[in-house]
Structure 1
Amino acid sequence: MTSSLPHRRLAELARKHGPLMHLDLGQVPCVIVSSPEWAKQMRKLCAAKLLGPKRVKSLQPTMEREMSKMVASITSSCFSGVNVSRMLCCLGNAISTSAVFGGSSSTQKQRQEFVPLIKEITKAVGAFSLVDVFPSSKLLRRITRYEPKLKKIHAAADAIMEAVINDHMAKRSTKHDQDDNNDEDLVDVLLDLKEKDDLRFPFSNFEIKAVILTETWTITAAWVMSELMKNPDVMEKAQKEIRQVVFSRNDIGELNYLELVLKETLRLHTPDALTIPRESQETTVINGYRIPAKTRVIINAWAIGRDPDYWTEPETFNPERFLNSSVSYKGLDFQLIPFGAGRRICPGMHYGVAIVKLVIANLLYHFDWELPNGMMPQELDMSESFGTEVGRKNDLLLIPIPYHP
């Protein structure tokens, strides 16, 4: 389990020992779920949504503004190499900070401090820690200093987010009678949910901070571009569809083939390969398997997306497999759960999907793309790197060619 790609190692063990597998990770008993049917049994229903499609529309001006800046930057670098992975990361930071902090000059200091903190949090949380599997070892806690480091980073990020939330709340209390034409940002949307208090569970500043920290779409966008470069026929179909559509905000929903490409990418490259562990509150029996109380349950969504019992040629990138298929990535079909399911589904799903579609549509509309140094599609490195999400091990380097309609 100290492997750099634990989701793959767990999938291998599941093929040998079955879809519901007990492991003792140090002192922590764990159950690994690697089958759609077993994952369905773990689901707890809850209808609440934090960021639905209507809410996402209010954030699109921010997305489009930052997207236009990126297109202009790529245009200035045409015919020379572009680090697509780094470019998407910068775009993600720009969109996130704009969506969270808005355009207020009073939040510029917090914006500058926030991005490096997010990088530290992602690195710390994604790393393997012996403290997680030997929680009672005081010696390990002293040696690794894992908890003090996390607490320090968390306290700094929490202070920034608390200041931003308070700043938004103060402004909201003074603009009741003012005509404010500024774009509504993510914190405003979340504060609306808090103030209306019509959700089925408590929604406080704590939950608002959790959503602010949700950011996985840049990894998915990088995998989409990687698969398109590795599969030129798919790239051609996606690009043709995009360029035939009159390109505007409202046209994104008409890109049916792009939706298939996104589904297939999420199947093969599930951003959260291993779901956040949950601990059973009491002893439970599922299909004859006894799961003791206080057992940590981890669902291997990566293995589920590549299960040959549910997918034909599971290792092949084939968007057409979703033609005339009702399978969705929204947590209703347990053979495809890239965002989780039930009340634990990723609250930023609609937000992330909307950005990925907008980004990919812009990249394919404005540019043709080539691999560097005469590289052939089959030579493109698709190695993974495991952290809080499963991203590319190496940056994606491409050459943009401007498209003139």
Structure 2
Amino acid sequence: MAETTLLLTRTTVLYTLLCVVGVTVFLRKLINSSSLSRQRDAGGGGGLRLPPGPWPLPVIGNMHCLLGALPHHAMKRLAGQYGPVMLLRLGHVRAVVVSSPAAAREVMKTHDAVFANRPMYVTMEVFTYGGQNITFAPYRSQHWKEVRRLCATELLGPKRVLHFRPVREQEAASLVAAIIIGDGDTSSRPATPVNLTERIKVVMNDILMRCAIGDTCPARDEYIRLLDEALRLMAGFNLIDLFPTSRLARMLGAGSLRAAQEVHQRVHRIMQDIIQDHETKGAYDGDILDVLLRLQREGGPDTALTTQVVSGALFDVFAAGSETTATTSIWAMSELARKPRLMERAQSEVRRVLHGKSKVAEADIQGRLPYLHMVIKETLRLHPPVPLLVPRHCDETTTVLGHHVPRGATVFVNAWAIGRDEASWPNADEFRPERFEEDDDEAPELNGLDFRFAPGGAGRRMCPGLMFGMANIETVLASLLFHFDWKLPAGADPQHLDMTESYGITAPRKTDLLLEATPFVPHE
């Protein structure tokens, strides 16, 4: 028995040693390969001076550096060590992260044309019909030129924003009524905590649905649910993107790819039914789909509005417009709830402007709520709706702040880090709308020209729906501030309000925003 035990022990030790030796040899080869590859990239064969960054591990690169924190948080922390232009290896993907206004200017202005394309990852390709939408349309293609022109003149320009004014006013009024009545329970009292996260998401979805496809959509709830699922799937890399030559990655990533394809097919079927309904109806009501179908019928040598292009454009309007405006509005109300003094100032402004009115009409508030505009801008600075913006693709090797960005690299602009840069924003973590005083010549505008403050991007790829989104946010916030007084439930300390972010494309609140609402009765 003892001899058998000794034999088993020796055998176990032998196998353990063999495993250790084998793993050691394997890792040494990988490290040597990685080292040689990095030396070649750094100039050993080509003279490139790549940006600094943490040393990558074999196979996974720097993916471990992003564990335990939201990506934009982790990247800001790393940029504090390695600088405003930093190289990360995410599997086989070379990612360059820029985290300062100067670096952002070079990416989005100086070398804007070099970085004007988008990286096309497998999940993105599924949901954008291979780039047949607005956000991912290939730069310099005829399709990109067309959708850019359509956004400026037909879909999201000033005239179209004005056209949808009644929709915003009606939906904001419905939001107010829903808060007063409660969730269908007429016995509920105004002091019952209101889930503002849910309420604001519903109203922004309703505004976008009506602006995009009109008043009716039998599959509305299913479509919104699928859009939420699509955004979740698009929020991260698929393993196939990170390890494109790996058979194991293809196997492990196949499940999420199939899920994306299934969601997209269902979204596509619903959209086809909506398009068919509009074509059958034949009436022109002026919603975005009607505009696209009219342009499709008119045709022309420069028009190629296929059904896929129409569907892709509508997907952009829904997915980008609803999520970003809802997230910004929720964060704005969260920040005001933490600072009752600022809440009171914003409410006083709205109520002074609307004195003698019973509801919010955009004609009454247009250009007359400067402090509310400062609140929105400060919210966008602290909580940019897309913290890393939409990634860009480097079409040719170029330099940013003296560092070479290699061709094929994916470039992230960390708008969240730039908005919290102490060099540009004193007391950067403090919510202080007064930073944007209109009589301050140095206060940046939301026009993509000041790279301290570019939550919607800048240059050729600046968000085309920024004006549209700002109108939605202003009307909804003005309605909430005009009709209700807000405070935390049960007299909770505002400073203890949980402001933790959740993972996602838009980094929303991790917990729902619950506030008590006391209706305000305007004096006639």
2:508 aligns with 391
Report % sequence identity: 40
Q: What is the CA distance between 1:197 and its match in structure 2? A: 8.1
Residue 236 (structure 2) pairs with residue 130 (structure 1):
no
CA offset digits 1:302-336 (Å, max 9, x no partner): 00111111111111111111112441223221111
SS of corresponding position for 1:123: helix
TM (normalized to structure 1)?
Answer: 0.90
Residues 48-197 of structure 1 aligned to structure 2 (within 5 Å): 48=149, 49=152, 50-77=155-182, 78-104=190-216, 107-108=217-218, 110-127=219-236, 129-144=238-253, 145-171=255-281, 174-175=282-283, 182=285, 184-191=286-293
* Separation in 2, partners of 1:331, 1:29: 26
Alpha-carbon spacing, 1:195–1:251, altered in 2? closer, same or farther (3 Å):
farther
Q: What is the CA distance between 1:192 and its match in structure 2? A: 5.9
Q: What is the CA distance between 1:165 and its match in structure 2? A: 3.3
* Separation in 2, partners of 1:193, 1:229: 45
Greater RCO, 1 or 2 (C-alpha within 8 Å, sep 6+): 1
How large is the RMSD of aligned CA atoms in angstroms?
Answer: 2.4
SS of corresponding position for 1:149: helix
CA offset digits 1:139-189 (Å, max 9, x no partner): 223224121111111122123224323443454xx44xxxx7x5x323234
Q: What is the CA distance between 1:97 and its match in structure 2? A: 2.3
Residues 364-403 of structure 1 aligned to structure 2 (within 5 Å): 364-403=481-520
Alpha-carbon spacing, 1:244–1:336, altered in 2? closer, same or farther (3 Å):
same
Q: Is the contact between residue 4 and residue 385 of structure 1 (CA under 8 Å) also seen in structure 2?
A: no
SS of corresponding position for 1:390: coil
SS of corresponding position for 1:80: coil
Q: What is the CA distance between 1:190 and its match in structure 2? A: 4.6
Q: Any stretches of 5+ residues in structure 1 without a counterpart?
A: none
Q: What is the CA distance between 1:128 and its match in structure 2? A: 5.4
Alpha-carbon spacing, 1:4–1:287, altered in 2? closer, same or farther (3 Å):
closer
SS of corresponding position for 2:408: coil
Q: Any stretches of 5+ residues in structure 2 without a counterpart?
A: 1-65, 114-144, 183-189, 355-359
Alpha-carbon spacing, 1:165–1:350, altered in 2? closer, same or farther (3 Å):
farther
Q: What is the CA distance between 1:89 and its match in structure 2? A: 1.5
Residues 181-330 of structure 1 aligned to structure 2 (within 5 Å): 182=285, 184-191=286-293, 204-205=309-310, 206-214=312-320, 215=322, 216-246=324-354, 247-253=360-366, 254-323=368-437, 324-325=439-440, 326-330=443-447
SS of corresponding position for 1:297: strand
- Give the number of aligned pairs: 394
* Separation in 2, partners of 1:92, 1:42: 32
* Separation in 2, partners of 1:189, 1:350: 18
* Separation in 2, partners of 1:63, 1:382: 28
* Separation in 2, partners of 1:196, 1:13: 52
Q: What is the CA distance between 1:125 and its match in structure 2? A: 1.6
Q: What is the CA distance between 1:400 and its match in structure 2? A: 0.3
CA offset digits 1:50-71 (Å, max 9, x no partner): 5123211112222222222211
* Separation in 2, partners of 1:201, 1:287: 40
What amino acid does structure 1 have at the position aligned with 2:171?
Answer: E
Q: What is the CA distance between 1:217 and its match in structure 2? A: 0.6
Q: What is the CA distance between 1:12 and its match in structure 2? A: 0.8
Q: What is the CA distance between 1:209 and its match in structure 2? A: 3.5
What amino acid does structure 1 have at the position aligned with 2:364?
Answer: D
Q: Is the contact between residue 209 and residue 318 of structure 2 (CA under 8 Å) also seen in structure 1?
A: no
SS of corresponding position for 1:401: strand
